[in-house]
Structure 1
């Protein structure tokens, strides 16, 4: 299936990795391909990538497989390596990995030589349904998550769900948090599915992707509706920062979603019962546990949240499943 988004296409198909060699040749004329990936994926897929991309000369830049790789230091080191390998402005950069790899490679593609072409090949569920889509790139700094970044369209996003077979169970659950979010903000059918299932079929992956695509099409640069995608992320990013990114993104936003639902219920915004229902889902998936984190620990980080604009913080609530709401001026 091909899903168009602005100036590029998201291609979704099981076994797609075996077809991209010929597809890349339809829009890229050079032999060298530059691939940014992480240490774990390099060990798992180096031989397969060389086999599937047999008509190209692959040059790898390999980063540590941790959130801390989304840093200015790793950004600079990766650029130095790419230049040392001979990358030019019209060479193609490939992000092969999860959200960390995709965000870092995208920011490199946006800034190296003031822009080089790149494609996304997400390998984690979280990256497939969320971070590889929408053209946001970014790195973390001491003050907060994704505070440095740029919008950069890939030439294509290739999503092959068969890559999930090598994904650790904990990382799969990490991605399910973003699927739950997608259901809550934009697809009741998807939400009802994840209430009772621990794994997804291709159909649910496509549903989750379409939620994001539909929102990004309306608001590509996050002026209004695209903020819906940040449901759970104001607290989530603060939690990640508080624990110095030692906590999984999916776990952090799971707590963030619960905190938003709890506060929304107390304010009369969120329908009664939704908080407990979502809590049960997240407990079953082991994305949260009791006793829950103390949300008062994290509000001090809101000052540097990207949604904290000159006229106040935009906070995302859910009125009922499929109906998100942006609220300005919430006090914590």
Structure 2
């Protein structure tokens, strides 16, 4: 299926289907007249799928830039390495870059595309559930700073996104769970049917990915640059990103977001926005997909939370749920968070 991301200055298609990768060469030739393509990927994806991608792109001259897998590659040093490598390979301004991998490769590669020659065309080919349902669409590109996650970046939209669920067949069980947190988040903020299907375990992978993408597509089309409605996608991420950083990224993104959603619901309860029944339902889903961290040793988070990008003039725009599918943006001060959040009382 073809889903259009309709934006004011840069619309593009998302191709979603089993075997969608086989359409890549034809799609590229619709608008790209060059012969060289540069592919950024990591060692794991290159080892599993590099050869098959090269076969799909047999009409082109393909050069790979391969980085280490993992969150540590979303760094200034790896960013510089990728830039210098592409320049050494004599990539030009009109040449095409493809990001082929999970969210780390997509975020890093998108930022490279946004900044090399002040912008080169790029395509996202996400290979993990987390990147297929979230990071590959919407145009957010970033690397991490020593202060917080995703603090250095830009908005830069791809020319095309190819989402092929067949890549999930080689995904580890852990990485699949890691991606499910973003699916559950999207259900919480914008799709009651998806929430019910996840709770009852009655949904196929293709429909699950499509419904999750449509939640994000709706808010990105309303607010491309994260000024209002797009903040809804941050549900669970305020505390989630702080958990990731404090664990030195030993806690994976999805598991941290799962915990962050529960913390947001508890704070929402304490300030009178969120009914207690929602947290009970969310716990059932998180347990179903084996995403619970809430029995782990709690750690203080408030100071790191206020490095979040949603911190505007001393108030943090947090996302709370009034009901499933009905989220609200509420400014919260550090004093209120200190009063509401006591890591020892999370249940």
Give the TM-score normalised by the residue count of structure 2.
0.93
Cα shift readout 1:76-106 (whole Å, capped 9, x = no counterpart): 0011111111211000000001100000000
Equivalent of 2:321, from 302, 307, 318?
Answer: 318
**CA displacement, residues 294-326 of structure 1 (integer Å, 9 cap, x when unaligned):** 2x6111102211000125110111110000011
1:122 aligns with 2:118: no
Structure 1, residues 22-47: CA drift from partner, whole Å, max 9, x if none? 22111111111100001100000121
Q: Which residue number in structure 1 is paired with residue 343 of structure 2?
A: none
| Structure 1 counterpart of 2:174 | 170
Question: What's the counterpart of residue 4 of structure 1?
Answer: 4
Who is 1:309 aligned against? Answer: 312
CA contact (8 A) 1:10 1:156 kept: yes
| Shift in Å, 1:267 | 2.1
How many Å apart are 1:280 and its aligned residue? Answer: 2.1
Q: Which among 267, 280, 284 is matched to residue 284 of structure 2?
A: 280
Q: Distance in 1 between matches of 2:282 and 2:296?
A: 14
RMSD: 1.3
Residues 172-203 of structure 1, C-alpha deviations (whole Å, 9 max, x = no match): 11111000000000000001111132974211
The secondary structure found in structure 2 opposite 1:329 is strand
Q: C-alpha offsets along residues 213-235 of structure 1, whole Å, 9 cap, x if unaligned?
A: 00011111111111000000000
CA distance in 1, matches of 2:127, 2:332: 38
Is the 1:255–1:293 contact (alpha carbons within 8 Å) kept by the matching residues of 2? no
Q: Tell me what 1:249 maps to.
A: 253
Equivalent residues in 2 for 1:201-216 (5 A)?
201-216=205-220
Native 8 Å contact 1:236 1:255 kept in 2: yes
Q: Does 1:50 align with 2:28?
A: no
Question: Counterpart of 1:21?
Answer: 25
- Give yes or no for contact 2:144–2:150 (8 Å, CA) kept in 1: yes
2:125 partner SS: strand
Compute the displacement of 1:290 (Å): 4.9
* Equivalences for residues 54-133 of structure 1 within 5 A: 54-133=58-137
Conserved? CA contact 1:110–1:150, under 8 Å:
yes
* Contact 2:259 2:293 (C-alpha < 8 Å) held by counterparts: no
CA contact (8 A) 2:187 2:194 kept: yes
Distance in 1 between the 2:83 and 2:204 partners?
36
Equivalent position of 2:165 in the other structure: 161
Matched pairs, number:
331
Which moved further from structure 2: 317-326 or 189-198? 189-198
Q: Is 2:136 the partner of 1:139? A: no
User: What is the SS of the residue equivalent to 2:150?
Assistant: strand
Please, what TM-score do these two structures have when normalized by structure 1?
A: 0.97
Unaligned runs of 5+ in 1: none
